[in-house]
């Protein structure tokens, strides 16, 4: 190849490199524009009460539990409730055969009437002897005996009244009533069963379920920390909480 052509070819790359360098220098000197705007969110912080909630395992239990037991012995002639139903305090649950207790009540009533009748003649005799002893018509011993007989008759009246009251109580206990209001469970006796006074086996159980207790299990360490924070004023106890 001739020498003039060789020189021309070598000059072309040098011209291209110089042009690129000039472009880079021009771009570097070009002033930059302002940066783009960025939206910034903010939150105003204010103090307020926060409820701390902790989930703990627990078990509910009835507020009141009453076991129904008979207070007199006899045969159950009626069951007057539905198992699993709600009953009210004083409601009749069972009826025990009252015939024996009715007879005892009638006998005690008659004994009281007889004792009261004995008081009248002894009272009259004691008053009469009191007048006679004043005029020495009878001895002082006779007057004292009449007065003692009167006091004995009056004591017999008090005893007969107590026996009658006992008979009335026993007769009333032939109707077994609910001691509390609540939900009654299964009956362990049926009509025709023999029950005894204050027997160890309950006839049924009543539970008061409104309101109820909730037994919650919590570690003693966590409970102590909670109490320390309450004592320091870092936490505030709800007025409804009881523990």
The larger pLDDT score, comparing residue 112 to residue 237, is at 112
For the ranges 81-90, 131-140, 203-212, which has the lowest average pLDDT? 131-140
pLDDT of residue 135: 86
Pull the structure tokens for residue 158.
Answer: 């008090």
* C-alpha atoms less than 13 angstroms from C-alpha of 153 in its C-beta half-sphere: 20
The mean pLDDT value for 28-38 works out to: 65
Which residues, 6+ apart, have CB-to-CB distance to 56 below 8 Å? 216, 217, 218
pLDDT in tens, 97-152: 999 999 999 999 999 999 999 999 999 999 998 888 888 888 889 889 999 999 99
Which residues, 6+ apart, have CB-to-CB distance to 170 below 8 Å? 72, 101, 104, 105
Name the β-bridge partners of 120.
Answer: none
pLDDT of residue 154: 95
The mean pLDDT value for 178-194 works out to: 96
Q: Is the pLDDT of residue 72 over 80?
A: yes
**CA–CA gap between residue 63 and residue 183 (Å, rounded):** 12
Query: What's the chain's average pLDDT?
Result: 85
* C-alpha atoms less than 13 angstroms from C-alpha of 27 in its C-beta half-sphere: 6
pLDDT of residue 182: 95
* Domains, the chain: 58-97+175-215 (2.40.50.100), 98-173 (1.10.287.470)
Q: Is the pLDDT of residue 77 over 80?
A: yes
Q: Is the pLDDT of residue 11 over 50?
A: no
**CA–CA gap between residue 108 and residue 32 (Å, rounded):** 121
Q: Is the pLDDT of residue 199 over 60?
A: yes
Rg (CA), the chain: 52
Assign 64 a pLDDT band (cuts: 50, 70, 90): very high
For the ranges 19-23, 50-54, 78-82, which has the lowest average pLDDT? 19-23
pLDDT of residue 14: 46
């Amino acid at each position: 190849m001739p020498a003039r052509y060789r020189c021309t070819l070598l000059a072309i790359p040098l011209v291209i490199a110089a042009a690129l360098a000039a472009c880079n220098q021009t771009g570097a000197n070009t002033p930059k524009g302002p940066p783009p705007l960025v939206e910034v969110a903010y939150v105003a912080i204010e103090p307020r009460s926060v409820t701390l909630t902790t989930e703990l395992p627990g078990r509910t239990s009835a507020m009141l539990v009453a076991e129904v037991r008979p207070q007199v012995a006899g045969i159950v002639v009626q069951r007057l409730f539905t198992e699993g139903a709600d009953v009210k305090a004083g409601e009749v649950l069972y009826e025990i055969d009252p015939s024996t207790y009715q007879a005892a009540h009638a006998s005690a009533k008659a004994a009281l009437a007889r004792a009261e009748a004995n008081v009248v003649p002894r009272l009259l005799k004691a008053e009469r002897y009191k007048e006679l002893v004043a005029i020495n018509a009878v001895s002082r011993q006779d007057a004292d005996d009449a007065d003692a007989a009167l006091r004995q008759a009056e004591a017999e009246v008090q005893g007969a009244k107590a026996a009658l009251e006992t008979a009335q109580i026993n007769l009333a206990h032939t109707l077994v009533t609910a001691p509390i209001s609540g939900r009654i469970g299964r009956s362990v006796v049926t009509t025709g069963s023999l029950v005894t006074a204050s027997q160890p086996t309950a006839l049924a159980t009543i539970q008061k379920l409104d309101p109820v207790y909730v037994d919650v299990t919590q570690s003693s360490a966590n409970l102590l920390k909670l109490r320390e924070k309450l004592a320091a004023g870092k936490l505030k106890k709800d007025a409804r909480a009881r523990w």
